[in-house]
Amino acid sequence: MENPSFPRFAEVLLPRPLAGGFTYIIPENMHTLLRPGIRVLVQFGNRKIYSGIILRLHNEKPENHQPKAILEVLGPAIDDQRILQFWEWLASYYMCTPGEVMNVALPSRLKLESETQLLCPLDEEQWPDTLSDTELEVLRITRSNSETTLNDVIKFSGASSVKVVRHLVDSGLLLIKESIKHQSLEKWIKVVRLRPNSEELIAAILSPNTRAKSQQNLLLAYYQLESTGQPITREKLLDVSRASMSSLDALVEKGIFEIVEVKESSIIGRSGMQAYTLTPVQNQALQQILDSFQKKRIVLLHGVTSSGKTEIYVHLMKQVQQSGGQCLLLVPEIALTTQLIGRLRQFFGDQISLYHSRMSDREQTDVWESVRKCEPTGRIVVGARSALFLPYSDLRLVIIDEEHDPSYRQDAPNPRYQGRDAAIYLASLFDARVLLGSATPSIESYFNTQIGKYDLVELHQRYEGLSLPTVEIVDLRAARKKGQLRGNFSQALLLAIEQAIARGRQSIIFQNRRGYAPRLVCTECGLILMCQHCDIALTLHKAAHKLRCHYCGSEKPVPLACSACGSVQLQLQGAGTEQIEDELTTYFPNARIERLDLDTARSKKRYQQLLTDMETGQIDILVGTQMVTKGLNFANVEVVGVVNADNLLYFPEYRAHERAFQLLEQVAGRSGRSGQVGKVFIQTYTPQHPVLTHVSTHHYGDFYQWQAAERREFHYPPFVRMIQLTLRHRDLKILQAAASQLAQSLTTLQEIHIIGPEFPPVARVSDYYRMRFLIKIPKNQSYLRIKNTLWHTCLSFFAHADYRRIRYTFEVDI
Ligand SMILES: Nc1ncnc2c1ncn2[C@@H]1O[C@H](COP(=O)(O)OP(=O)(O)OP(=O)(O)O)[C@@H](O)[C@H]1O
Ligand SMILES: [Zn+2]
């Protein structure tokens, strides 16, 4: 019988770059199963099958087409409506589609689609004998052909086989191709754990007059083991409780226990490590934060480098954990955060989940589920920006570490969003508190404290009252004149390194370019060797003996002569980390020198090794790109040298000064973290540059005043809002024609100020030319309305036959 009160249609979100959700008919047998957040399988177009997520149920029959019926119900993905609301907000705010958001939000396991490739890893002898006929059939199809897609299975065994596929994937008998490249060789073990919401059942068993004594013993043993923090395997539980297997099965059947597989490494016995006792200064900051949270939702913790911000995070996270709520700690790049995570693991043990896009699909899905069910491990999440998409239901605190870091922004593909800002919005949906932390806050965040939108809490002192490092600005021109320059190094810096080595202390040398030399130039005709596909000079990599493009990754052998004039007088210009390392080896032949950049630390293992060697004093000098500036905490670093600050200072972007200040202050902050005061040397040809002055006094407030005044005067954020619209096409003429036509159409938007069309500093990347518009929007204008107009203007403009092949993207709040 049809249930007349049940909605007849569902709006389903699909992982495609299309606007809005799509309407499907709800078959009768699904009435009890559907609600928003449930994953379903649907057909889209004539052939394609996708798993989508229900946005809402309704009764509005679409006017212009006959909807298809939902094929299968796959199960819940999201329980809390606010998560879907967040996805929709993200799409609309950052000018993309909810489908694109869904595409990055869901782990690939939850995203079956017709092209999904399936793989059966086990031989037939290894299959369990409990398989149903359909399961057997599906496995045989997959086994017989290494290129089997979900579509093939559906063609053969019908749409209902998808449920079977999903079940097989869940039990590890089938693998999804997309996830295969991520498969880690981790060992998994089966553990027993309590199911959520089983309190009543438990109370019944624990009541004194229960007849199920053996089950009671199991529960008590469980609690006992839980408090030790060890993994609770079936064997151990039976051993401690002296109960029988059948009693354990009974508890599983009753829905009190469940048996799940978890990664062995995720279970670290609680080491009994306590949080450090906060120093009085840190404690005062913590109290201020807690007080502020009573009145304001968002607090910026501005704490100088090595002031112990991490310890304050730990105390706040602990409070949320104890209250049973969820807490998210966002970090800019998980790969560069191993030290921080190590510290958190020591303290929280296995009660913490990591989440980032480089985890295996299975690990991602596990975290997804434990967050959705708000299990103990799903309450404290440490993640990169992708952790914003997890299905929280009781989020109470979001901490954003190094909130100024540019890697919070996703550049490509859509959604192109700023993770920090999105986190603040997500928190607002849950009325959760937000703590932004940094030694060098972004201008936007600090501005928000100045206008009273956020509260500001400051930590001016390093842990243990150590002084911030002394900074010497080294004038390279003067040094050269006085003959005090050797290669890329001033005598002052070399002397400091030498003295540090003599004292058994370490140095970090920062150069913002990898490779050996960023340019190879013909001294006869002046030709610079450029990438064939990009408008950028090729970088010489000496060890690999290659010229490489750092934009598109293409490579070339190193030529012996100039391709234009045949001269063999080719000269290297500029210096990358590889050259700096070489140079230091000649100056300090006995020193242990290592390099940390994308070329040497491609693997996580190698990166970890470098950190350990640095920590244990196996390295005297560490040369590196900005990888050495980020959050590293080495106790024994005395000297930090910046080989050349000028290429940071003169980058053509309105944030260049802000970025330069942040980078320099952060790298400086790696020195003198314990023991003696650190020494920083910044080499430059423009020693009077205000950024350098502010770094040398470590006075963030002065730096802010200076930058804010400039931004106000020249109308840049945070005093206006800014959107960048970029057009890309292989043909320069078509691109230019389109850009100037579009400029015409945009003149109708009178309230805004448009810069461009113009070429970005690198006009062509991977054979695509790029032109961009910078759109400045006064704060008194409706952002939403203007974005809408822009969106629709572009939609109709690029629908035009001549311009249909032009790709265009928006970057909001650039
Ligand atoms: N209360 C404390 N007790 C013991 N050690 C502490 C305490 N506070 C901080 N430390 C130690 O001081 C060092 C610096 O702390 P932390 O790394 O948290 O600084 P930070 O403010 O995050 O610095 P940065 O911004 O430079 O990354 C760490 O080794 C940390 O363990
Ligand atoms: Zn290139």
Note the pLDDT of residue 128: 82
Helix (H) or strand (E) holding 381: strand 380-383
Give the model confidence (pLDDT) of 335-369 as tens digits: 778 788 888 887 888 788 999 887 877 788 889 99
Distance 404 CA to ligand 2 centre (A): 29
- Is 402 near ligand 1, meaning CB less than 6 Å away? no
- Probe target for ligand 1 pocket from 284, 306, 666, with the most ligand atoms within 8 Å of CB: 306
pLDDT attached to residue 609: 84
Pocket test of ligand 1: the residue of 463, 508, 666 to mutate, having most ligand atoms within 8 Å of its CB, is: 463
Ligand 1 close to Cβ of residue 469 (< 6 A): no
Handedness of CA 23, 29, 30, 31 (dihedral sign): positive
Measuring from atom 11 of ligand 1, which residue has the nearest CA? 308
Q: Is 278 in the pocket of ligand 1 (CB under 6 A)?
A: yes
Decide if 330 contacts 399 (C-beta within 8 A).
yes
Across the chain, what does the average pLDDT equal? 88
Q: Is 489 close to ligand 1, i.e. is its CB under 6 Å away?
A: no
Is position 96 annotated in a ligand binding site?
no
Answer with the residue of higher pLDDT: 810 or 190: 810
Q: Is the minimum distance from the CB of 312 to ligand 1 under 6 angstroms?
A: no
Query: Is pLDDT of 203 > 80?
Result: yes
The alpha carbon of 548 and the centre of ligand 2 are apart by a number of angstroms equal to 8
The number of the ligand 1 atom at minimal distance from the alpha carbon of 305 is 26
Specify the amino acid at residue 441: P
Residue 438 CA, closest ligand 1 atom number: 25
Residue type, 242: R
So what's the pLDDT on residue 259? 86
Report the range of poorest mean pLDDT among 58-62, 219-223, 308-312, 628-632: 628-632
Highest-confidence segment of 56-70, 248-262, 769-783: 769-783
* Pocket probe mutation, ligand 1, options 311, 615, 665, max atoms within 8 Å of Cβ: 311
pLDDT score of 179 more than 70: no
Query: How many angstroms is it from 357 CA to the middle of ligand 2?
Result: 26
pLDDT exceeds 80 at position 528: yes
* Atom 24 (ligand 1) nearest CA: 305
Any atom of ligand 1 within 6 Å of the Cβ of 337? no
Instruction: Measure Cα distances from 26 to 6, 34, 75, 293 in Å.
Output: 9, 9, 15, 45
pLDDT above 60: residue 788: yes
pLDDT higher than threshold 70 for residue 687: yes
Would you state the pLDDT for residue 696?
A: 95
Can you give the pLDDT at residue 121?
Answer: 80
> Cis omega (within 30 of 0) on the bond before 469?
no
797-805 mean pLDDT: 88
Q: What is the reported pLDDT for 393?
A: 93
CB-ligand 1 contact for 468 (6 Å cutoff): no
Query: In the structure, what pLDDT confidence band is assigned to residue 263 with cuts at 50, 70 and 90?
Result: low
Range with the lowest mean pLDDT among 185-189, 323-327, 502-506, 737-741? 185-189
Exposure b/e, 338-350, CB count within 10 A at least 16 = b: bbbeebbbbbbbb
Q: Report the DSSP beta bridge partners of residue 808.
A: 727
User: Does position 268 have pLDDT exceeding 50, yes or no?
Assistant: no
| pLDDT for the residue 269 | 41
Q: 279 in ligand 1 pocket by Cβ < 6 Å?
A: yes
Whether the bond between 718 and the residue before it is cis, its omega within 30 degrees of 0, is: yes
Tell me the pLDDT band of 19, cut-offs 50, 70 and 90.
confident
Least confident of 92-96, 226-230, 535-539, 582-586: 226-230
All structural domains of the chain:
9-110 (3.40.1440.60), 118-180 (no CATH), 188-266 (no CATH), 280-464 (3.40.50.300), 470-516+576-710 (3.40.50.300), 517-574 (no CATH), 720-812 (3.30.70.600)
797 lines ligand 1 (CB under 6 A): no
Q: Interface pTM (ipTM) of the complex?
A: 0.96
| Higher local confidence (pLDDT), 325 or 197 | 325
- 410 CB within 6 A, ligand 1: no
Confidence of residue 182 (pLDDT cuts 50, 70, 90): very low
Would the pLDDT of 1 be above 60? no
Give residues whose Cβ lies within 5 Å of ion ligand 2: 531, 533-534, 549, 551-552
**Residue 307: CB within 6 Å of ligand 1?**
yes
pLDDT of residue 124: 81
For ligand 1, whether the C-beta of 670 sits within 6 Å is no
Identity of the residue numbered 743 = A
Percent of the chain at pLDDT exceeding 90: 54
Check whether 522 is labelled as a binding-site residue: yes
Ligand 1 neighbourhood includes 439 CB (under 6 angstroms) = yes
Higher pLDDT, 411 or 299: 299
Instruction: Please determine, for residue 610, whether its predicted confidence score (pLDDT) is greater than 70.
Output: yes
At residue 360, the pLDDT reads: 78
Q: How confident is the model at residue 713 (pLDDT cuts 50, 70, 90)?
A: very high
* Confidence at 271, pLDDT banded by 50, 70, 90: very low
**471 C-alpha to ligand 1 centroid (Å):** 21
Q: Calculate mean pLDDT across residues 696-725.
A: 95
Question: Rounded CA gap, 556 and 185, in Å?
Answer: 35
User: What pLDDT score was predicted for residue 537?
Assistant: 93
Of the two residues 496 and 267, the one the predictor is more confident about is 496
794 is in an annotated binding site: no
- The ligand 1 atom at the shortest distance from the C-alpha of residue 669 is 26
Interval 43-84: pLDDT, tens: 887 777 888 999 999 999 888 888 999 988 888 889 999 999
Question: Alpha-carbon distance 720 to 795, whole Å?
Answer: 25
Percent of the chain with pLDDT over 70: 95
Residues 404-462 pLDDT 10s: 999 999 988 889 999 999 999 999 999 999 999 999 999 999 999 999 999 999 999 88
CA–centroid distance, 377 to ligand 2, in Å, is: 44
**Range 488-505 average pLDDT:** 95
Ligand whose nearest atom lies closest to the CA of 441:
1
Helices in 430-487 by DSSP H: which ranges? 443-450, 476-481
Atom of ligand 1 at shortest distance to CA of 631?
27
Four-residue CA torsion sign, 125, 131, 136, 142: negative
Assess whether pLDDT exceeds 60 at residue 667. yes
Is 131 in contact with 45 (CB distance < 8 Å)? no
Query: Which of 38-52, 205-219, 254-268, 570-584 ranks highest by mean pLDDT?
Result: 570-584
